[in-house]
Structure 1
Amino acid sequence: MKHAEEVTFGGSGLDRAAEIRGDIPALATLMQDAGSRCILIWRGKPLVSGDTGLDLVRLPMDHPVLAEAGEPPIFMGRENGAAVFAYDVSGWEPEQLDADAMGQFLDPSEQKHPLLEAGTRFAELRMIMTRLSARDAELAATMRSVVSWHSSHQFCSRCGTKSVTHMAGWQRICPDCGGHHFPRTDPVVIMLITRGNKCLLGRSPGWPEGMYSCLAGFLEPGETIEAAVRREVFEEAGVHVGQVSYLSSQPWAYPSSLMIGCHGEALSEEITLDTVEMDDARWVTREELMDAHAGLRSDILPGRKGAIAHFLLRNWLADRLD
């Protein structure tokens, strides 16, 4: 797919500068450098500013809000030669917090920290991802994934001892058994399944009414991408798939997946639904999908912009799967 890296969270060309993650003197110098900057996250939400178009806020390394960070910073890399670090300030407790909003599939609430400038706020990444530049989206998604990993993997999986941050936030080491642990990325296949003029869409229990998407599922150990596509589609919808081809990929920070976008050609049309995994699955024609994207249907919502499913479906409609 010639334009595969146009997908959200991909293609910004961030210099991650992995070669200096273990260089403690160099990192210490960068943290004192007046040109270095930091980005913030609070309970999975990056700090942004702006209106229609949003910017990931970059703060100086001596900003007072950093005193509220509970863990050492993560070295994200370099932008135009300047270092960028990420801090997690999730320990901050806002005076008013809408717990119901934060539990929604798409959290519309925003939080404003009293030590930060007016106009800056913490916002749910899924709500704002298409309003960020490619670079800011990559930084925000990477920060969210690595911070989430640290939060959920604080103890050694070999011996149970609490591990410590290492390699500028890109490893954890067990002080007892010496085990090294690395940020987790879970491969997921997400597939545009077509048969002639129709594509196969499904919806999971708990999704907003009318929301449909491409079928998806995690790869299993010892399984190829092609085999995973065929297995998942048959398990969820009872549809047999023949030819499978790779299209594009997307880092997806919920919490740490790599979405592997594929195109599969269905060999059958009859649907046998897995009612545990799926609420519904249906064949949708190009014309029906175009009407949905134009807002002309109430039974099928247009795909969420920024998600790889929307990217794949939009390019299928435009006949751009080359």
Structure 2
Amino acid sequence: MPRPLGFTGARLDRADQVRTNEAAFAAALADPRARCLVLDGIDFVPGEGGGLCWEPFDPADDRAVMLLGLDEAGVPHFVREPAPSQRIDARSRTVMRLLPMLSTEEAALYGGARSLVDWHARHRFCAVCGQPTDLFRGGWGRQCGSCNAEHFPRVDPVVIMLAECEDRVLVGRQPGFPPGFFSALAGFVEPGESLEEAVARELFEEAGIRVADVTYVASQPWPFPSSLMIGARAVAHDPALTLDTTEIEAAMWVDRADVRAALAGDMGAPFMAPPPLAIARFLLEDWAA
């Protein structure tokens, strides 16, 4: 890969052996070196140098705690659930403006913490019997005290793809995108279909094109709130488009010169490219190269 994908590259040991061992987890909590990630709801609070902000673990804070992992020196890193007064906004625009302040590793670490905290905030009750649940496995699950059902953080698979035809690729825009912004088409994988089938279905539903030769490119966690973006390419043999305008406001085929101009931020480019953190940009970079 020409560069690391956004929200990948966290170096903490996830330490499953600590999560599942009550004595080891208690020892991690009692470690005087332990650090806790400072969040405002689920948005990170910038530190003095612009990166993540960590504070010493405070045993007097009675909010539930989750183990993010151990660093190379064995120092435990935690994150707490939000205070009841803190607002949870899974699609916060504030944090999108702050993310460029983080290093690649910090963004990956924050992304995992954000998705985990958001899941806990939205899954306090058992999906089986409706009773309250409690954290277990070091914060990587919830268990119902009534029916003993176990629940684990969800990850939602999303295919995101470039359809290629006659040495051009398809980009599109949703109505809520900023003016001039175009990206790769994407959609959630549905129960009972493969990734290849999801790619073909989404491209036909949104753009009216039939594709074949679907190939995997790369994947990326996307913590808004908990998606796994699965990047792919596919080949279309007919460039005629029929857009689902409830999903796609506009779409167009662009060649390599168009894509390179957009990636370079040229004023004359036919569209504005996705930001560096997004896998859509990586797919365009990979194809243009």
TM-score (ref. length: structure 2): 0.91
Partner of 2:65: 73
Task: Report 1:287-302 matches (<5 A).
Answer: 287-293=257-263, 294-297=265-268, 300-302=271-273
Deviation at 1:292, TM superposition (A): 2.2
Answer yes or no: is the 8 Å Cα contact 1:73–1:86 preserved in 2: yes
Quote the offset at 1:298 in angstroms.
6.9
Structure 2 gap ranges (5+):
none
Between the aligned residues of both structures, percent identity stands at 37
Q: Say if 1:31 and 1:57 are closer, same or farther in 2 by CA, change over 3 A.
A: same
Does residue 313 (structure 1) correspond to residue 254 (structure 2)? The answer is: no
Superimposed CA distance per residue, residues 215-234 of structure 1 (whole angstroms, 9 cap, x where no aligned partner): 00000111111111000000
Confirm or deny: 8 A CA contact 2:40 2:82 kept in the other structure: yes
1:116 alignment counterpart: none
| Structure 1 residues 156-201: Cα deviation after superposition (integer angstroms, max 9, x where no partner) | 1111111111111111111111110000000000002212331101
Change (3 A) 1:266 1:106: farther
* C-alpha spacing 1:105/1:155, structure 2 compared with 1 (3 Å): closer
- How many residues end up aligned between the 2 structures? 287
Deviations along 1:247-299, one digit per CA (max 9) or x if unpaired, are 11001101000000111111220000001111111111221222223232375
Contact 2:261 2:269 in 1 (8 A): no
Map Cα deviations across residues 2-49 of structure 1 (whole Å, 9 max, x no partner).
Answer: x28821111334310011112222222222211111112222201222
Partner of 1:107 in structure 2? 93
Write the distance in 2 (CA, Å) between the matches of 1:44 and 1:297.
38
What is the CA–CA distance in structure 1 between the aligned matches of 2:154 and 2:273, rounded to whole Å? 31
Q: How does 1:101-180 map to 2 (within 5 A)?
A: 107-108=93-94, 124=95, 126-180=96-150
Identify which of 201, 204, 208 aligns with 1:234. Answer: 204
Q: Tell me the CA shift for residue 106 of structure 1.
A: 6.6
Q: Which residue of 2 aligns with 1:55?
A: 51
Kept in 2: contact 1:303–1:310 (CA 8 A): yes
Distance in structure 2 (CA, Å) of the matches to 1:91 and 1:272: 47
Equivalent residue number for residue 245 of structure 1: 215
Contact preservation (8 Å) 1:187, 1:260: yes
Specify whether residues 144 and 226 from structure 1 end up closer, same or farther in structure 2 by C-alpha distance, changes over 3 A only.
same
5+ unaligned residues in a row in structure 1: which ranges? 94-98, 109-123
Report the aligned-residue RMSD: 2.3
Do 2:90 and 2:118's aligned partners in 1 also have CA atoms closer than 8 Å? no
**Equivalent residues of 1:40, 1:88 under 8 A apart:** no
3-state SS of the aligned residue for 1:160?
Answer: coil
The list of structure 1 runs, each at least 4 consecutive aligned residues, that deviate by more than 3 angstroms after superposition, is 88-93, 102-106, 128-131
* Cα pair distance change 1:4/1:15, threshold 3 Å: farther
User: Structure 1: how far apart are the matches of 2:90 and 2:121?
Assistant: 21
Call closer, same or farther: CA 1:140–1:285 in 2, change over 3 Å: same
Alpha carbons of structure 1 residues 103 and 55: separation in structure 2 relative to 1, 3 Å: closer
Alpha-carbon offset, residue 133 of structure 1: 2.2
Show the counterpart of 1:119: none
What is the rounded CA distance, in whole Å, between the counterparts of 1:226 and 1:204 in structure 2? 23
